[in-house]
Structure 1
Amino acid sequence: MHGVEAFELVLGLLVLVIGLHWLALKLRWPPATALLVGGGALAFVPGLPAISLDPELALVLFLPPLLMDGAYYTALGRFRRHLPGILSLAVGAVVFTTLVVGVVVHWIIPELPWAACFALGAIVSPPDAVSARAVLKGVHLPRRLEALLEGESLLNDATGLILFRFAVAATLSGVFHTGEAVQSFAFVAIGGVIVGAAVAAGWVFLARRFGDRMLVMLITLLLCWAAYLAGEAVHVSGVIATVTAGLAMGWYQHVILSADVRLRANSAWQIMVFVLEALVFILIGFSLRGAIERVGGIGAIPTSWVQVIIAVVLTVTIARFVWIFASEAILEIARKAGLKRARPLGWRQATILGWAGMRGVVTLAVPLTLPVDMPGRDLMLISAFAVIFATVVAQGSSLGALIRKVRPVDTDPLAKMAMPAAEAAMARARMAVIEELAYAPDGTLIHPQMLEEHRKRMRFMERYEEDASAAMDNLRPHFDVLLQAIAAGRTELIRIHRAGLIEDEVLHELERDLDVEELTITFQRGD
């Protein structure tokens, strides 16, 4: 494909993303479902060029920023608190699913080597961070359940990739040592943490010393790829390195990045993540065409393969429920035995956790890296696509309805300080500084308006802390008036600019001030 044609194709895909995303909003579908189905349907339209997705490029292009995005916004306190449950899902459930899928596939096709069966299991076993984030947007979940799903989606790709590499090596060499595999797994995981922490430390060092905000934004945006590529370069888990760096950046950015850099970088980052996330699902759908053509078309798929594909889809779904509810039973037994830290989720949250097992970019890209002489390679490709479609379309589309039907209850204890109390504490700290600096050394009041303004704010915050709902109900009409005043100021600013009375530089400066003021009021209204 010519370079200009490739660029036109990318632009066409972006237009397609806009159309499908708008359609999903109108139909109230998860955007991932519309993008996946739309891409898959369009891939078979006659005359459209075939799109092949380089697997190594897919992993290095899409996975690091989307993992970093999840890690950056992860609540680190809840992540640490629920780490045993996260590891149970990210490691235990993935290993269990890999083994169960391998056994089922070997039972249906005995001639396929055991290691190849387990390789297929490793491909389809890890739920995907991209799919989970895309489907769970706008869905309200209990905090513990949200922490488990977010943490699992960040770490289980590493488990699946490591298991996959072991299984492929065992298939091609015919040799597998459990002890060596466990040691290698531990080395790759711990090494990923060390590399990620080192890369994050480098980011902290540079961000504190670069005076130019564009340079700080650039190294912040590139951190995900730096961590991933560094991990892969030293043969440890690039996934875990990226997640570690993302968690560290999310923790330190509050004290390292200026407000200006943080706002600008977040805006650029959100646009980039939206585009990459959407293109992932579009390209998954388009890639289905190549996989079907490689086996000679849908009609050429053997009956035994159809049985395997159906069995794999059912197995990955059932195995997840089995692991989760078995873990629930163990926690319940431990709780009754007097172990206070054992807190079962309950059947409501466990049901949602079991159904939220969407697969995505890793399950797509990994089988495309299989050697040509790998036994069962085409079967693995078709099975992987089937699992992605079944989980994203079926589970992703019905997850919101399931949550509304089951109505999970948030059983996590509340924090000691709610938002009204936190805002009141901040207001008291600001008031203390204003009261100190509003007077000159000789006791003369030099900032009377500022002092009165903060006293009014302090009195409001005290009422807000006592009854947040009533305070906001009284304040919203005030905010509405301010927003209308800002709109009038914006209209007048544009009028005098269009009349040629001010220069463009003045327009941009004053418009920026209005934007910041409007954004501040919008945040205060809680919109």
Structure 2
Amino acid sequence: MDGLGEIIALVGISVIGTAFARKLGLLAPIVLVIAGLGLSFLPFAPEVHLEPEMVLIGILPPLLYVAAIEMSVPAFRFNLRPILLLAIGLVIFTAFAVGTVLHLLLPAVPYALCVALGAVVAPPDAVAATAVARRIGLPRRLVTILEGESLVNDATALVLLRVSVSAATGAAVGFMDVTVDVALAAGGGILIGGAAALVIAYLHRRIKEPLVDTALSLLTPFVIVLPAEAVHASGVVAVVVAGLYIGHRMPTLMSAASRLQTDGFWRIARFLLEGMVFLLVGLQLREIVRDLDTPWTEVVWVTAAVVLTLLVARFAWVFPATYAARLVPKMRQRDPSPTLSMPTVISWAGMRGVVTLAAALALPETSEVAYPRELFVWLAFAVIVVTLVLQGATLPWVARRLRVPPDDPTQDTLVEAATQNAASRAARDRLEALADGAPAATVERLREVAEHRVNKAWERLGGATETPSQAYGRLRREMIDAEREVFRNARDEGRIPEEVLRRAQRDLDLEESLLLRTTED
């Protein structure tokens, strides 16, 4: 019961912390990390040891999967060049930059192990990037680049970590060995993810029960990552590939009821997992500090050097990578050079997360090579806290100060209205083709529904205080409340059974959820 009680307490703290952060307009990851740091030194706080396998196999795959499902494949493909430059090029550049600085400060530590720590701290975190970038309203393309980077960079870092540790422990690591390792990790991940995506997509098409569809969606990331890791392929790549494919095909794979239920499930799952992740990171402080036996003066200098190298390396890579490719005329015509504010924000959005800590905890405790493993774990932890608190807390201010241009909501509404107009026209054409024999009143009502959807889309472009659609939504919600009260009274008086109330309540809830967007707009 003690273990169960601790889990319930941690979930409760993460929920309360997230709600508190949203109430005050703060970023939940920062609040939860700070809460974990404070709780870690309280005598009654649970001492939670974060196992690397629990993170890399149990927590990371579902978070990557849901992020990949929501990623726009056309946007990902259009931004593939900057994404790969960050996810592959920047990770390698950062790993060697940190490794070089660390080796200069700790010459007794083999260079390969210093590079291994560089690989540990190099990749920004998928959860932190998504939570922060979307929360502060960065432009859509910038968010796509940051999310795309964080989806792929873990694979690069983990492969580089494996190669560096092998080299440090005396294994023969030549060019061909590295090439084979990378090909197996990346290529194997793509093949396994693609094959699994086809199978999962086929099952989704065959399944008609929403509960079974949702259960399959929950199992998918674990079913993919386990065989991928078993054959030493990249489970991260496999999960991301499958998520991109299934998310892109989602409208044709699931019924409407399944999509609604699956979306609701992943919302709550991601909410709980993200909160738990950052709280668990903070709770590791007591154990990490207790195991640290390096003099504090040395710890401070080495920590400051590693953090500063990380910050400088990201700027040193992002700016040349942004503008050098556009020296090619064809590239410049297809994708004009952005203002300085865009690469500046990307450079500052380098928050690290739980994957960095898990990778550090997975560093080997080997007698073959003497190195300060506890110091390495501390450095990874310090990088997470400093980048998350420093960069995460100041990123909104940086974006405002640089006047990063947000997406134009009017343009989005205009495109939506034009597309809705074409969609409604197609719906009316389908109605006319199938209307023979149907009651005239029914056909006319369906025509009005199609017309109403078009009008609602165009109304949002106007400047009226309350559009007809918004007035309809407001009044209809009041009517729904009145209907609910009648059904509740009938149930309480014993005139209808509970099952009748639930069916009516579900129908009214669905209708009200459709009205929410109209009222909020």
TM range (shorter): over 0.9
Residue identity in the other structure for 2:33: L
Residue identity in the other structure for 2:509: D
In the alignment, which of 2, 5, 18 is matched to residue 2 of structure 2?
5
Change (3 A) 1:29 1:410: closer
In the alignment, which of 467, 490, 496 is matched to residue 496 of structure 1?
490
Structure 1 counterpart of 2:393: 397
Q: Report SS of the residue matched to 2:135.
A: coil
1:121-155 deviations in Å (ceiling 9; x for gaps): 00000001011122223322222212111110100
Structure 1, gaps ≥5 residues long: 441-445
Residue identity in the other structure for 1:350: P
Change (3 A) 1:469 1:415: closer
In the alignment, which of 75, 89, 93 is matched to residue 92 of structure 1?
89
Structure 1 counterpart of 2:246: 249
Structure 1 counterpart of 2:212: 215
Is 1:456 matched up with 2:451? Answer: no
Structure 1 counterpart of 2:359: 366
RMSD: 2.2
Deviation at 1:64, TM superposition (A): 0.1
Q: Report SS of the residue matched to 1:229.
A: helix
Structure 1 counterpart of 2:338: 345
Deviation at 1:460, TM superposition (A): 4.3
Residue identity in the other structure for 2:195: A
1:166-200 deviations in Å (ceiling 9; x for gaps): 11111111643234213421331111111001111
- Map 1:82-121 → 2, pairs under 5 A: 82-121=79-118
Structure 1 counterpart of 2:41: 44
Structure 2, gaps ≥5 residues long: none
Q: Report SS of the residue matched to 1:190.
A: helix
Structure 2 counterpart of 1:511: 505
Structure 1 counterpart of 2:350: 357
Structure 2 counterpart of 1:381: 377
Q: Give the stretch that moved more between structures: 22-31 or 517-526.
A: 517-526
Residues in 2 aligned to 1:16 and 1:47: alpha-carbon distance in whole angstroms: 14
> Does the CA contact (< 8 Å) of 2:349 and 2:395 recur in 1?
yes
Give percent identity, aligned residues only. 35
1:97-133 deviations in Å (ceiling 9; x for gaps): 0010011111111111100110110000000101112
Deviation at 1:369, TM superposition (A): 1.1
Q: Give the stretch that moved more between structures: 402-411 or 277-286.
A: 402-411
Structure 1 counterpart of 2:195: 198
Deviation at 1:420, TM superposition (A): 0.4
Q: Report SS of the residue matched to 2:108.
A: coil
Structure 1 counterpart of 2:404: 408
Residues in 2 aligned to 1:507 and 1:463: alpha-carbon distance in whole angstroms: 34
Q: Give the stretch that moved more between structures: 302-311 or 235-244.
A: 302-311
Residues in 1 aligned to 2:313 and 2:287: alpha-carbon distance in whole angstroms: 29
Report the TM-score, using the length of structure 1 for normalisation. Answer: 0.92
> Does the CA contact (< 8 Å) of 2:184 and 2:232 recur in 1?
no
Residue identity in the other structure for 1:480: R
Residue identity in the other structure for 2:503: E
Residue identity in the other structure for 2:138: L
> Does the CA contact (< 8 Å) of 2:214 and 2:265 recur in 1?
no
Q: How many correspondences in the alignment?
A: 514
Q: Give the stretch that moved more between structures: 374-383 or 72-81.
A: 374-383
Residues in 2 aligned to 1:83 and 1:187: alpha-carbon distance in whole angstroms: 21
Q: Report SS of the residue matched to 2:284.
A: helix
Q: Report SS of the residue matched to 2:157.
A: helix
Is 1:240 matched up with 2:237? Answer: yes
Is 1:80 matched up with 2:72? Answer: no
> Does the CA contact (< 8 Å) of 1:59 and 1:361 recur in 2?
no
Residue identity in the other structure for 2:342: Q
Residues in 1 aligned to 2:268 and 2:37: alpha-carbon distance in whole angstroms: 24
1:192-231 deviations in Å (ceiling 9; x for gaps): 1110011111112222233443322211111111111121
Deviation at 1:410, TM superposition (A): 5.9
> Does the CA contact (< 8 Å) of 1:86 and 1:151 recur in 2?
yes
Residues in 1 aligned to 2:110 and 2:331: alpha-carbon distance in whole angstroms: 46
Deviation at 1:449, TM superposition (A): 2.7
> Does the CA contact (< 8 Å) of 2:18 and 2:32 recur in 1?
yes
> Does the CA contact (< 8 Å) of 1:97 and 1:316 recur in 2?
yes
